[in-house]
Amino acid sequence: MFDRLWAMLMKEFLELRRDRWAMFRLIVPLLIQVVAFGYAATFTVNHVATSVLDLDHSQASRGLVSHFVATGRFEVVDIAETQRQITRDLDTGRATVAIVIHAGFEQNLNNGRTAPLQVSVDGTNSNTALIALGYVSQIVAQFQAEQMANAWPAQAAAVSPSVSVLLQERPWFNAGLEDRWFFIPGVIGTLTLIQVVSLTAFAVVREREVGTLEQIMVSPIRPFEFILGKAVPFFLIGLGEVALITIFGVLWFHIPFVGSPLVMLLGASLFLLAALGLGLLLSTLSRTQQQAFALNFFVVNPLFILSGFAFPIAAMPRVLQWFTLINPLRYFLVIIRAEFLKGVGVDALWPDLSALALLGVGMFTLSILRFRKSLD
Amino acid sequence: MNPRRLFAIAFKETLQVWRDPRSLAIALLMPLMQMALLGYGVSLDIRRVPLCVYDQENSQTSRELVQRFVASKWFVVARVLSDERAVRDAMDRGTCIGAVTIPVNFSRILTTTGAASVQTVFDATDANTTTIAIGYAQGVIAQTTADFQARWAAAHGLRPQTVGGVDLEPRVWFNEGLDSRNFIIPGVVAVILGLVGAQLTSLTISREWERGTMEQLVSTPVTALEVMIGKLVPYFVIGLFDAAFCLCATAFWFQVPFRGSLGTLMLTTALFTLVVLGIGYLVSVRIRSQLGASQVALILTVMPINLLSGYTFPIDQMPAPIQAVTLVVYARYFVTILRAVFLKGSTIGDLAVPILALVLYAVAIIWIAARAFRKRLD
């Protein structure tokens, strides 16, 4: 059996080696996508284009605006003269945030009255708007506290020690709240899935299409050995990709890797088993490479969207959340991110690892059974 | 240009699409599936953040504080913890996104010194979710402080607000409920149209090569220009049909408010469809196998449109070199237009720049495509 398996493996590796561009085609798009995700995939809110209408022209109003600018979250792109101009800025998208300071702002503050401050946010991008609004209220609170301390030391002293609850928030695992630390580990699972599934599906369908599958079947090689011979090279390629992107992410993007490479390897192996199984399954469902291509897209795309890669699973409708339970990528992403950022071991990850093991072994077995049938 | 020959090519292409299950699936099934998948699956609405609570004090005040987190609807209590180690453990296992620790002498500190702090740790693996969750937590705490102060003032016989302050009036325009669907789904239309359009036409010339009908086509009197136009017309109709489907789903099924003019929407949709079909056609002329052509078309559309069109990740937050790259991503202009027409009700005048960019793109692509195809067999 090992002789035959060995012969099959040699054949596969020879085919890979003969195709001089194969490695190039595998690696270059991979790295381009990692770089693109690393730089482009960001939800941060900095330098938001801001339009200011200051009808007060006072020290306080200028102070407030400089509070906004000083955080680096907002950048004044237009000093408006009229309310119409503000509306125009938001309409055309020149500004995302508009601050209107009414006349009498400083006077009201100094006399202990409430000074209204109008802040309009373009809610088109709900995510940016939500985060920007959070910053706005923080900045205004900060400004108010300083104003009170300066202008009304007596009152400030009287009010502030009354009662106040302070929030000490500490983001763990990703203290700088870097989106990249979230996306680059995610890219590992996503790109590996896309490549391994399509490579496997195409490799088998190609043999079928060219007619070499029949030649192999009349040789003494058994179906199981054939599948293993196909699977092992792609398994190794998959592991190589995981390692490559991991190293690239750590060295180029300086993503910390605090976990254990062994747990990662375990997770990746189980995940690749599922991906190989899926690829083989698709190959049994398609006669031609074109069919494989179309089928591949219809299957892999939902796995990608419904994995929690970019969009939180908790934000999906219930039915789609159930679907994510049979998505191997979902579990692998949890494992990769945990190994990169949290550094937890098998004791914390066993639910995800066992789900992945179940899916991996299940899919691989299913594909072998179906594949044997499709040969008859 | 001979209308009869043009019609003949268009008719032949229509028949071919009609009889090719694969093209039909791309034209009809793909938009349906993608619309359902992206429309429902792509959401950034972070609500009901799972929270672990470690209440060391367990007093009336501390329980009220926890209750305020729950009452805000932004948080749900996933687990109540009873020691410090459990906090770390819950975070490691991902049981919760945030963990609130209320110190043992919380209410005593609050009444004696006046300021007591609540420690909250967040699992910041997903930075965006965490940023938003922290914002929610600050809101809850600020409201709590305000209420406690009012209560304190009342107990001490003071008017609730003795000192005036800045009264922040935040107003959200265009997407008043800050619903991420309203932001994402118009962009999804561009994603789907870009994908489907390029896939459809990427097969058109390569099919002639692969099936060996190129010789026949070349031996007929049709000109290259007639081939291009004749082949694009049926796909243009299909593309517009798909666009109409997606846009109707956006407005009626997902209920994204539509505030702009139908005319602007139709004009820009037609322009974008033209660009996308042109790109697919160009790929098809260059690559002679159907498989290769559709793969290249997929690579040219999926990644740039998903990542660089601004449909999920805001372009103005990307580094300058990447922002420069997005200028050639044609979908970026259509995404901008779609959002503005749907949510802002922008007019053609407001959108002059992106529309002009699309026009330029369409002209350039069609011009290049028209020159790319030669009636030759080598």
Per-position pLDDT tens, chain B of length 378: 788 888 888 898 888 888 877 778 888 888 999 899 988 988 888 888 999 999 998 889 899 999 999 998 889 998 899 888 888 888 888 888 899 999 888 888 888 877 888 888 999 888 888 988 998 998 888 888 888 877 877 777 665 554 556 777 788 888 888 888 899 999 999 999 998 999 889 888 888 888 888 888 888 888 888 889 999 999 999 999 999 999 999 999 999 999 999 999 999 999 999 999 999 999 999 888 888 888 888 888 888 888 899 888 989 888 999 999 999 999 999 999 999 999 988 888 889 999 999 999 999 999 998 888 877 776
Chain A residues in contact with B167 by the CB 8 A cut-off are: 114-117
Q: Pick from B294, B24, B33: which is nearest to A290 by CA?
A: B294
Number of neighbours of residue A362 by Cβ within 10 angstroms: 15
- Among chain A residues, the shortest Cα distance to B108 is held by A163
Residue A104 half-sphere exposure toward CB, CA atoms < 13 A: 7
Torsion sign (Cα): A259, A261, A266, A268 = positive
Chain A residues in contact with B128 by the CB 8 A cut-off are: 43, 127, 179, 182
Alpha carbon of A328: minimum distance to chain B alpha carbons (Å) = 17
Chain B residues in contact with A127 by the CB 8 A cut-off are: 44, 128, 132, 180, 183
Chain A residues in contact with B331 by the CB 8 A cut-off are: none
- B368 CB near a chain A CB, below 8 Å? no
Q: Pick from A124, A168, A175, A147: which is nearest to A58 by CA?
A: A147
Kind and range of the H or E run holding A82: none
Domains and CATH numbers, chain A: 2-41+182-375 (no CATH), 48-159 (3.40.1710.10)
Q: Which of A43, A123, A293 has its CB closest to that of B175?
A: A123
pLDDT band at A157 (very low <50, low <70, confident <90, very high): low
Q: Do A167 and B137 touch (CB under 8 A)?
A: yes
Q: Starting at the earlier edge strand, list the strands of the sheet with B166-173.
A: A74-80, A48-54, A97-101, A115-122, B166-173
The answer to whether the beta carbons of residues B340 and B260 sit under 8 Å apart is: yes
Q: Which of A298, A305, A344 has its CB closest to that of B41?
A: A305
Q: Which of A43, A91, A140 has its CB closest to that of B128?
A: A43
The answer to whether the beta carbons of residues A4 and A225 sit under 8 Å apart is: yes
- Among chain A residues, the shortest Cα distance to B256 is held by A124
Model confidence over A243-256: pLDDT tens digits?
999 999 999 999 99
Burial (CB < 10 A; 0-12, 13-18, 19+), residue B26, is buried
Q: How far is CA A279 from CA A12, A194, A346, B199, B206, in A?
A: 16, 10, 28, 22, 26
Residue with tokens 């098809």: B284
Crossing angle of the two packed helices A346-375 and A261-285, in degrees rounded to 10: 20
Alpha carbon of B35: minimum distance to chain A alpha carbons (Å) = 11
Tell me which residues of chain B, numbers 193 to 252, contact chain A at a CB-CB cutoff of 8 Å. none
Domains and CATH numbers, chain B: 3-43+179-372 (no CATH), 49-155 (3.40.1710.10)
- Residue B157 token pair: 């016989």
Q: Do B173 and A121 touch (CB under 8 A)?
A: yes
Pairing outcome for strands B115-123 and B98-102? antiparallel
Alpha carbon of B3: minimum distance to chain A alpha carbons (Å) = 34
Measured in degrees and rounded to the nearest 5, phi and psi for residue B79 equal: -160, 145
- Give the Cα separation of A138 and B117 in Å (integer): 17
Predicted confidence at residue A223, as pLDDT, reads: 77
Alpha carbon of A251: minimum distance to chain B alpha carbons (Å) = 19
Model confidence over A304-338: pLDDT tens digits?
999 999 888 888 888 999 999 999 999 999 999 99
ipTM of the complex: 0.84
Query: Which residues, in sequence order, are CB contacts of B77 under 8 Å at separation 6+?
Result: B51, B52, B53, B66, B69, B70
Alpha carbon of B102: minimum distance to chain A alpha carbons (Å) = 10
Q: Which of A33, A148, A165 has its CB closest to that of B116?
A: A165
Predicted confidence at residue A257, as pLDDT, reads: 94
What is the DSSP-derived secondary structure letter of residue A309?
A: S
- B372 CB near a chain A CB, below 8 Å? no
- Among chain A residues, the shortest Cα distance to B98 is held by A171
Determine the residue among B33, B295, B317 to mutate to test chain A binding: the one whose Cβ has the most chain A Cβ atoms within 10 Å.
B317
The answer to whether the beta carbons of residues A307 and A262 sit under 8 Å apart is: no
